[in-house]
Structure 1
Amino acid sequence: MKILTIIGARPQFIKAASLSRYLKSLSGIKEIILHTGQHYDSNMSEEFFSELDIPTPDYNLQVGSDTPARQTAKMMMGIEDIVLKEWPDFILIYGDTNSTIAGALVGAKLHIPIAHVEAGLRSYDRGMPEEINRVVSDSISTLLFCPTETAVNNLKKEGIATGVYNVGDIMLENYQYYKGKAQKTSTILNNLNLKFKKYILCTIHRASNTDNTENLKNIFIGLTNSKETIILPLHPRTKKKIDQNEFLKKYIDQNIKIIDPIGYFDMICLEINAKKIVTDSGGVQKEAYFNKVPCITLRENTEWVETIEQGVNQLVGVDPKKIKESINNFHPQKQNYSKQLYGDGKTSAKIIEILLSN
């Protein structure tokens, strides 16, 4: 069996690490890795491949940044060339990025079966580009590997029931595998002179926030007014926006410390030791749950509804007052983290078993 794995962004590198590691241990399966180059910053790409021991991609399209339509189109052209050359038995896609939908569309048009890892997620906000990518990719995928029963039910509501499997969350598997190594090898706490539970970790990367100066300003006001030490690993898009705006610059170095993009091990270490996590990332919401750290989400909705239902995640949007209030006063109970929301950490084995049987 030949599998073409298509990845292009940080969350996909993390997810692919588990499955690629498992595939390497098996005979009779050849994995071909195609990196679209969606994340083109070396700190957000090469470091992840190195840390997570992901095989060097067989192909790298190096598409870089562009408008959504142009970026997706360039990806599709490159992916199509490689599919026609390799003719894989399956195209394996992850998550909800432009790389995801580009791979799905090429596979569907060339009649190559598509396996979608992290299928069935819905925020029910069509204003999010990721939501469009999810809905379209799921509608044309052959095998849909869901992380939760909620995701399975979302697909049922859309009339998708064939080829749907709840395999648990592959990010949980990767987190469990690397947590110990991250704690042993990361030096980021010492480098930044940080103490256990004495800082707030923040990530801001969604275009709806970083490309909207008013939203970004409100987030910074809320963070500053909390009076807590804020550690903000900076996405290239966010850094560009701040560098272009004198008003935003004035908030830096009050209580907000901006650091360069970091690798997976450093991120795990910062998450484990954080007092709270403030984010607009879907994946970081889950990682907060894995680490039993309260999460504050800078969005009006989330695809990870289980964290809201469990009372360990609050949606605050970009309201400065809500951001400050949650940072200062949101204190979930320990028992809120007791449920096994995202499976048993054996997702890769389940996926491979299903792929081999189809």
Structure 2
Amino acid sequence: MKNEKTKDFLTLGEVLEEQKKRPPIKYLWSGIKEKSFGLVFGPSKSGKTIFCENFAFKIAIGETQFLGEKLNIQQPQKVLFVGLEEFWEYRVARNEKQMLTYDSSNISLLEANYLYQPFEFKGKIITKQDWEQLDLLVKKSKASFVVIDSITRLNHGKLEDSETAESILQNLRNICYDNGVTLICIHHTPKMYGKPLDMDSIKGSSVFAQESDFAIGINKTAQEDRYVKNVFFRYAADCSDSVKEVNIDENTIIHLVGRTTEQKLLNKTDRRRSNDSRDLIIEYLDRTPCVLYKTADLVKALTKKLNIKDRQVKDYLKRLVEEGDVSNPKRGYYQSIKCCNNQGKEANDEA
């Protein structure tokens, strides 16, 4: 705010007047507000980096949705991915595979809008000078969305020490607010061993909760089911029970499988429940796992096989998709999740 003379305090009316002069800050995606700072966290190999890469790609091309939720941007934007852990050639090879799944116009946008740090950029950010260089990189990039992979490379002490965690997060917040960017920092947790994702999973969790505007968890269960969980939002409600079940294909593109509960995924030992029509539908699809069935053809085959009405088949299919037992890769088509799981195992799952 510009004042002729520094004031000791401001009234609500003065602050409201200043706010009217500025464009409103809107939600970017889910509970993430533009120009806010937060975390994507979870155990090793869960898919955190791939999640962030896919998210950044969508912003770079001006896409309007990501994993079934609105992406609130008006046009393609510059994004900066600061990868401090992985050798750049491995990362770029994966990004190229991801890029080639898009059409030519979007490939051109990605080539121009998806930015990396220079080859000579330091792999650890520890000293004051290092932080100044990182801040300068963000400033010069003119990016609106920035990902840093990961907090491990910013750690100058022990994250269990609240002073260390607070110092790192305050530096990140300063970069976020001073440059007016949405900033995501990837953070690794120990293996979860069937435990639910929450802020207590993070070392120095109290400081992370205090200093972050949001925290999104990514996990992979013992049965290799992946999910995305809204753990904490400062500016929006989060639902601790509901999660997005996802899979990662051979091109390291992340797909929404459906919505379910975290506990259901953690408790799942296999995909069979009681011996009912839903189990028979799963078995039918599993016999030809990578065949993509058109809804009309599948309903016709199953009504004959199971001797039930087509409305019941459609209802079963809908529930099986919601529970993550059948894949609905695109509107009007179904297939076995075995195909998706096999592709995911072959994917380069760094993160």
Q: Same fold (TM over 0.5)?
A: no
Greater fraction of residues in strand: 2
Greater fraction of residues in helix: 1
Q: Which has the larger radius of gyration?
A: 2
**TM value normalised by structure 2:** 0.27
**TM value normalised by structure 1:** 0.27
